[in-house]
Amino acid sequence: MKVAVGSTNPAKVEAVREVFREIYGEVEVVPMGVDSGVPDQPVGLEETIKGAINRAKLALEKTGADFGVGVEAGLYSVPETLTGYMDIQFCAIVDKEGRTTFGHGPGFEYPPGVIRRVFEEDVEVGIAMGELVNDRELKRKIGAIGVLTHGRLVRKELNKLAVLMALVPRLNPEWYGLG
């Protein structure tokens, strides 16, 4: 089985590789740099989901793989939170028949100063968070979630949850009409 990932970010690629291997055994995972078609910092569920779908579809088209996988993180409005926003990782998995399944991981809040920079300076959360902790490669490693949880949950593991949730209908095709 060949799985194309619409990203070259190691935290996304390794998450896909680990989940697909755990479920399907030996798989070939092909990282593919593609344009998400949304801003670098997606805001809102629609923009975030669109980015994940675009990544998955473009990766599939460019490689002819069995599956295209797109993972996109974005901010969405949540009333009563400290900042008004939470971050969520969405995953879209597209197969050769054009069927798309979705999942997402847990949501969390960034520090208020990071959110302020996103909306006042048009800075991506990964950049703002990386500057806050003096690590410009943060989003390609443990991610903001790794810093914020003191290493208890790193970005790859957060992405793995989203990928696994997107595979739920594929693990149960008879219940989702995918058989």
How many other C-beta atoms lie within 10 A of the C-beta of residue 70?
A: 32
Question: How is residue 19 written in tokens?
Answer: 């989940």
Position 141 scores a pLDDT of 84
Torsions phi, psi for 51 (to 5 deg): -60, -40
Q: Does domain 2-176 have CATH number 3.90.950.10?
A: yes
- Domain range list for the chain: 2-176
Q: In what order do the strands lie in the sheet with 28-31?
A: 28-31, 2-5, 67-77, 85-95, 100-104
pLDDT tens per residue, range 124-168: 999 999 999 999 888 778 999 999 999 999 999 999 999 999 999
Q: What is the pLDDT of residue 139?
A: 79
With a cut of 80, say whether residue 179 has pLDDT above it: no
